Amino acid sequence: MRTYIKKTSVFLFALVLALSLVNCKSIQNANNKQKGAAIGATGGAILGAIIGNNVGGGNAALGAVIGGVVGGGAGVLIGDKMDKQAQQIEEEVPGAQVERIDQGIVVTFEDGSGVYFATNKYNINEPSQNTLKKLVSIFIENPDTKILVVGHTDSTGDAGYNMTLSKNRANSVTNFLKQNGVKSSRLITKWYGEEQPIADNSTEAGRSKNRRVNIVILPNDDMIEEAKQQAGN
């Protein structure tokens, strides 16, 4: 069974939130929504999920893409929508590790999971296409979000080559989403090569975790504005 991880951050952007693992039952999302009413921090916890223990000033551009957390009643409404979408992804998309963090969702595909690539390749094979098509359906069903695709590699081989490989893999995912109906205006692509490991590159298990693609789903301006109007913010 895939793990559904839920975390809420009250830390500033430059700090890393320790990850707290919980069960995947949707009823537990209520706690997350309640916390959404009280917080107004930036997206440091989402950064932590994407780049592990490497959060810092050098990732300011990525932090700006992620943006801040909306508090008050609007935050509760956004949290409710994102909880439902996260549960839908976990139920319908095989191989996905789904994390509900602040008011975003981080979907991680490690090497050998639902979206994977052959060694030194960046074309999306048929099993991965089938997985991504399930995500596409959910994205189209939930149009008021922006989607960040982030590519990573392990440290095997040349760093420059790995940077290019992670770029090509991230772009392959982004292009596939566009070609299958996700509006390009919703999509943002980033890549880090071997620079942002989340596990030990000296072991095969660690390298497998570092060969990954993150897909981050965030509320867009329309969702935020609608939530504020509904909440009377």
pLDDT, residue 54, reads: 72
pLDDT-derived band at 33, boundaries 50, 70, 90: very low
From 50-64, 67-81, 132-146, 163-177, the region with the lowest mean pLDDT: 50-64
Provide, rounded to the nearest whole percent, the portion of the chain with pLDDT above 70.
80
* Beta pairing, strands 97-101 & 4-7: parallel
Tens digit of pLDDT for each residue in 210-231? 999 999 999 999 999 999 999 9
pLDDT for res 163: 97
Q: Is the pLDDT of residue 203 over 50?
A: yes
Which CA distances in Å does 203 have to 113, 155, 207, 209, 210?
18, 11, 6, 10, 11
pLDDT surpasses 80 at 135 = yes
Beta bridge partners of 216: 106, 148
Residue 11 corresponds to which amino acid? F
Q: For the residues 2-23, what does the mean pLDDT come to?
A: 32
pLDDT at position 31:
39
Q: Are the C-beta atoms of 85 and 54 separated by less than 8 Å?
A: no
Look at the block and give the residue holding tokens 């994407």: 50
Domain that holds residue 30: 4-231
pLDDT higher than 90, residue 140: yes
- Return the higher-pLDDT residue of 21 and 86: 86
How does residue 60 score in pLDDT terms, banded at 50, 70 and 90? confident
Answer with the residue of higher pLDDT: 117 or 147: 147
- The CATH number covering residue 33 comes to 3.30.1330.60
Give 57's pLDDT tier (boundaries 50, 70, 90).
low
pLDDT averaged over every residue in the chain: 82
Which of 137-141, 152-156, 210-214 ranks highest by mean pLDDT? 137-141
| DSSP β-bridge partners for residue 25 | none
CA distance 170 to 212: 10
> Region 127-137: what's the mean pLDDT?
95
End-to-end CA distance of the chain: 39
Listing DSSP states for 4-56 in one string gives EEEE---S-TTS-PPP------GGGHHHHHHHHTT---BSHHHHHHHHTT--S
Name residue, tokens 């301006």. Answer: 221
Asked whether 80 and 227 are in contact (CB, 8 A), the reply is no
Task: Please count the structural domains in the chain.
Answer: 1
Residue bearing tokens 């989403």: 177
Contact 116, 94 (CB under 8 A): no
Q: Is the pLDDT of residue 22 over 90?
A: no
